[in-house]
Structure 1
Amino acid sequence: MQASSLLSAGLCAILLGGCAAMSPISKAPLPAGSATAAPLAAYRATFDASGRLSVNYKHNGNPESLTGKFTWVQTPARLDVTLSSPLATIATISVTAQSATLVQADKAPQVAADLESLTTAALGWTLPVSGLRDWLQGYASAADGSRFVASAATNTVTTRDGWRLRFVSWQNDAGGRLLPKRIDAEHDAAAGAATEELAIRIVLDGQG
């Protein structure tokens, strides 16, 4: 395995409690009495969520995978992401207009211009934070630049930056409005990128 793959594998273990084969995550049904025909909840600039993240990717020709839990807290000016193993908080990432900072216990903070650059450099795969601000709430920017609003009937889209999204399952908020439950995202290799393929599965366990 090349040095960059070893670095990626080591950092996966640090951040998310170890790289392991992605296990299937069962599709969670909507609560009894709810309907997937309900309107999507309005987009909120201030939003928080928690859930599980599974990633499969190829880095310099080598298949890699990881799983973990996350929390997501965003405001118009800041984003805070926490990654954890089953037993403890492993890392936190803070994003502002100026920079993204990754903090781990007993290690110097890592700083980059944005979260995509930070995760690509550290892990060998990209956490698409700009897209996730929309995706976690059921929205996206389609390939033609139009605003995509997901629903149970219209649940797939290719974004402007090449992500293929599928909103697989749904849940209702307290007001009965529709919210994503599981999102599958795939991206092919970009020209010159070390990551050849990338597939991310996101399961949301709570939103606020």
Structure 2
Amino acid sequence: MPALSRFILAAACAAGFTSLLAGCATTASVPLANPTAQVGAYRDTIDLNGRLAANYQKDGQPQSINGNFTWVQRPGRIDVSLFTPLGQTAAEITVTPDAATLKQSGREPRVEKDIDTLTAKSLGWILPVSGLRDWLQGYAVDAAGKRFTASPAHDSVVTNDGWRLRFVEWQNGPGGTPMPRRIDAERSTTAVGDALTIRIVIDPVA
């Protein structure tokens, strides 16, 4: 079975998926150095590791996935690696302003003009890399087109492309400012059926 097929776990029931998501965030919380502050300044260069789970529908049937990821962001380029729960590489995604590329072992690279199209066709659900560029650091663009800056006291927003975000848990980031620890995102989209729910847990930042 291809690694990506192992990454995409089929037909989880709602209760099972809820348990899966709850298991993503079992690390004890560390008190924030400055719990009333907003997130720190946006960084074009960032390296993160974490876990994600997604709940979506395919052909009218509920589906779920669970795995780990690495996120390497540089000006003009993002590299995302997805791993199975056992640590095997499921997919490697590269996003530039011109194209999005998916690589899997033993297969020709797949290229699309944008990451939403690529992941919807290849994974069966949309990995919102363009949004995650902001979300992972506590930023978003709200429904009115204004820049949203999150904080523990101001932790939810609806984005301009229809994602409902909640920054559920926090950790200490560079300089002691708060940084997202867990992000819940939900959007209704005809591209993958009905509601798409993604939960992201970011590992502690050094």
User: Quick check: TM above 0.5?
Assistant: yes
Structure 2 counterpart of 1:198 = 196
How far apart are 1:90 and its partner, in Å?
Answer: 2.3
Contact 2:9 2:64 (C-alpha < 8 Å) held by counterparts: no
CA–CA separation in structure 2 for the residues paired with 1:207 and 1:97: 27
SS at match of 2:152: coil
Structure 2 counterpart of 1:178 = 178
- 1:51-66 to structure 2, matched below 5 A, reads 51-66=50-65
CA–CA separation in structure 2 for the residues paired with 1:93 and 1:147: 27
Q: What one-letter code is carried by the residue in structure 2 that aligns with 1:34?
A: A
Structure 2 counterpart of 1:39 = 38
CA–CA separation in structure 1 for the residues paired with 2:32 and 2:100: 42
* More deviation, 16-25/115-124: 16-25
Q: What one-letter code is carried by the residue in structure 2 that aligns with 1:13?
A: S
**1:170-198 deviation per Cα after TM superposition (whole angstroms, max 9, x unaligned):** 000242111000000000134xx342210
Could you say if the C-alpha distance between residues 32 and 156 of structure 1 is closer, same or farther in structure 2, counting changes exceeding 3 Å? closer
Identity %: 47
The number of equivalent residue pairs is 197
CA–CA separation in structure 2 for the residues paired with 1:80 and 1:93: 6
Contact 1:28 1:181 (C-alpha < 8 Å) held by counterparts: no
**1:103-123 deviation per Cα after TM superposition (whole angstroms, max 9, x unaligned):** 111111111111111000112
Contact 2:9 2:63 (C-alpha < 8 Å) held by counterparts: no
Structure 2 counterpart of 1:69 = 68
SS at match of 2:176: coil
TM-score normalised according to structure 2 size: 0.87
How far apart are 1:34 and its partner, in Å?
Answer: 2.7
1:13 aligns with 2:5: yes
TM-score normalised according to structure 1 size: 0.86
* More deviation, 160-169/23-32: 23-32
CA–CA separation in structure 2 for the residues paired with 1:90 and 1:149: 32
**Gaps in structure 1 of 5+ consecutive residues:** 1-9
Structure 1 counterpart of 2:121 = 121
CA RMSD of aligned residues (A): 2.2
SS at match of 2:121: helix
How far apart are 1:98 and its partner, in Å?
Answer: 1.7
How far apart are 1:87 and its partner, in Å?
Answer: 2.9
CA–CA separation in structure 2 for the residues paired with 1:167 and 1:71: 19
SS at match of 1:175: helix
**1:9-58 deviation per Cα after TM superposition (whole angstroms, max 9, x unaligned):** x88524x2644543113365542463421331111111121100100011
Structure 2 counterpart of 1:81 = 80
CA–CA separation in structure 1 for the residues paired with 2:32 and 2:141: 31
Contact 2:8 2:64 (C-alpha < 8 Å) held by counterparts: no
**Gaps in structure 2 of 5+ consecutive residues:** none
